[in-house]
Structure 1
Amino acid sequence: MVNLPILLGLAAHASAVCTRPQLQAAADAYLTALTSGTPSTLPLATTVNYIENEVLVDIHTGILSTPMKLSFNRTLLDTTDCAAFLELNAASNPHPYVLHTRLALTPTTNQINTLDAVISDAGDWIFNATSHLNYTRSESWDPIPESQRDSRAVIKAAADAYLDQWGSPNMSVPLGTPCARLEGGMYTGASNPSANTCAMGAFPQPLHVAKRRYVIDEVLGGVGVLNNFPWLEASIVNGSTPSSNLVRVQGGLIRYIHEVTICVTRMCGR
């Protein structure tokens, strides 16, 4: 029997150096496979961990097996850990989706060894693919000038602080002003863009966000963090829920946060 936490841990901590063109080519191959419904076209390693919402599945029977019409995509490229993170919106698809996908590449062969996707649709937390599309399109994720880029450590620490605050409400989080959070299809930046700081109140009980798998792109100031959200409802996997956060950091401060969270019951019973 496959031990999923071990596989995810190995994927998160494996480190290898890739180039941006290598990673972009792999991301483009994934987009082609997704939109055409042909996973067989992917440059796959002999052994591939293909995961949908924290469940290991057959890549030929999962979401890649049916063509999907995409409305928008955004890609982070992590040349240090040889991984890419894709935010995908399929608002115009007959079955709308919003996906966050992490893929890892074997640099010596340019083959994909891991595909790990959080796939949300109707009934998941505040899901609205059309609203998500409108808001994510409106944001600026242009490359940051080299002299102004934050280090990997700074970008990761900012995202970790945001997630750690869910368990320690009084800890400091480097939130910028303005800051906008896209949670499902709800956008906090729409209410008062000039003053919004993405500040959150305390949860009913402290929450520990586990199984974090990172993709860090210093050029875009972005970090994608697939994780396991300890939601207060009946769970999908091991007492918690597949989730993902995409964070943009500029000058050490968080500018954007995008969250995708999967629910067992409609809207996670809320």
Structure 2
Amino acid sequence: MIRTMISLAILLAGSGAVYAQECTRPMLQAAVESYLAAQTSGDISRMSLDAKAKFQENMIPTTREKGLWNTALPIAHTISIYDVPRCKTFTEVIVTEGGHPYVLGTRLAVKSGKITEIDSLVSDQDDWLFNAADYLKYSKAEDWPVLEPDDRVSRQELIDAGNQYFDFVFLDKGIRPPWGTPCARLEGGAYTNPKNEPRDTCQIPAPLGEMFVVNRTYVVDEEMGTVNVFCRFGDSKEGMPDSHLFRLVNGKYRWIHTISVNLTGKPIVIDPPPNAIPETAR
């Protein structure tokens, strides 16, 4: 009986080890490489797609044939993060040439090496603060290496940092997000620290106005110290699709990148509180 129980324990331990290895960082990296190959060539057959893959663009279901991934784009720069526990990725893609600049934020869900879901935010000239050339300029100047173990924080702390930012900026000034120094925000192409001042922070006078940030989902890469949040501003069905990518070093914000897709065609206005001090005046 004891021998049987020991054998069963070994079997279960072995199966757990196999399960833990079903998704690996190299597997996710290969999936992203296939996506980028498809996006560069406009040939979706180069993507490692599952036969039943699902597609979304700007948080709207679409088909394999209709997405921007069928258009060849001269990609200038990318940043990718890899969520191994959930087998998901996020890639920021910057396109400045080819006649139509874009900044894309694309998530992949992967199973057994195949992409089962692709969810892409597509921003261009009609979107929030859009300037692909400046997005490229400032993004390339930043340094996003894998962090040393002592510089990392837990998965939950990264998720909390993303949530605290939104809740502070739009709802509750009593929240204490992990502001870091130096830090810079890159929003559509607008950069808050173009001179790379060592004392600048990402802090915003808040709240900017009451707005609920809903439908939040997360891709987390502890090795990179990053969390990507997909969300909508306002309404859960028709609110503006948005991506915020947070990079934390030693648990403090270092860089924040945003991609916001304005589906209304109307200007986005958030009324500041009466006593707010513009960031440029700080």
What's the TM-score bracket when you normalise by the shorter of the two chains? 0.7 to 0.9
Residue matched to 1:189? 193
Higher mean C-alpha displacement, 179-188 vs 163-172: 163-172
Aligned: 1:123 with 2:139: no
Distance (Å, rounded) in 2 between the aligned partners of 1:248 and 1:88: 17
1:50 to 55, 62, 77: 55
Give the direction of change, closer, same or farther, for the CA distance of 1:191–1:33 in structure 2 (3 Å limit).
same
Deviates more, 1:42-51 or 1:176-185: 42-51
- Of structures 1 and 2, the one scoring higher in RCO (CA 8 A, sep 6+) is 1
Matched, 1:26 2:31: yes
Q: Give the letter for the 1:161 counterpart.
A: Q
Q: Indicate the residue corresponding to 2:144 in structure 1.
A: 141
Q: Select between 191-200 and 78-87 the one with higher mean Cα deviation.
A: 191-200
Partner residue, 1:241: 240
- Give the Å deviation of 1:149: 1.8
What's the offset of the Cα at 1:59?
Answer: 1.8
TM-superposition CA deviations, 1:55-104 (whole Å, max 9, x none): 10112121011101100011101111101110110012321000111111
Equivalents in 2 of 1:197, 1:141: separation in Å? 18
Question: How many pairs align?
Answer: 249
Partner of residue 229, structure 1: 233
Identity score, percent? 35
- Equivalent-residue separation in structure 1 for 2:180 and 2:269 (angstroms): 32
Q: Is 1:111 aligned to residue 110 of structure 2?
A: no
Q: Which residue of 2 aligns with 1:219?
A: 223
Letter in 2 for 1:182: L
| Structural RMSD (CA) | 1.9
Equivalent residue for 1:81?
86
Structure 1 residue 114: deviation in Å? 1.0
Runs of 4+ aligned residues of structure 1 deviating over 6 Å after TM superposition are none
Cα distance in 2 for partners of 1:180, 1:56 equals: 33
Q: In 2, distance between residues paired with 1:141 and 1:208?
A: 30
Structure 1: distance between partners of 2:137 and 2:196: 17
Aligned partner letter, 1:18: C
Consecutive unaligned residues of structure 1, counting only runs of 5 or more, are 1-14
CA distance in 1, matches of 2:172, 2:98: 39
Listed one character per residue, the Cα deviations across residues 109-153 of structure 1 (whole Å, up to 9, x for unaligned) are 211111111110001000000000000001111111123321111
CA distance in 2, matches of 1:203, 1:149: 29
Native 8 Å contact 2:105 2:243 kept in 1: yes
Distance change (3 Å), C-alpha of 1:204 and 1:223: closer
- Residues 16 and 80 in structure 1, CA contact (< 8 A), matched pair in contact too: no
Q: Which protein is bigger by CA-based radius of gyration?
A: 2
Which consecutive residues of structure 2, in runs of 5 or more, have no partner in the other structure? 1-19, 271-282
Aligned to 2:265: 265
Aligned mates of 1:197, 1:135 — CA distance in 2: 16
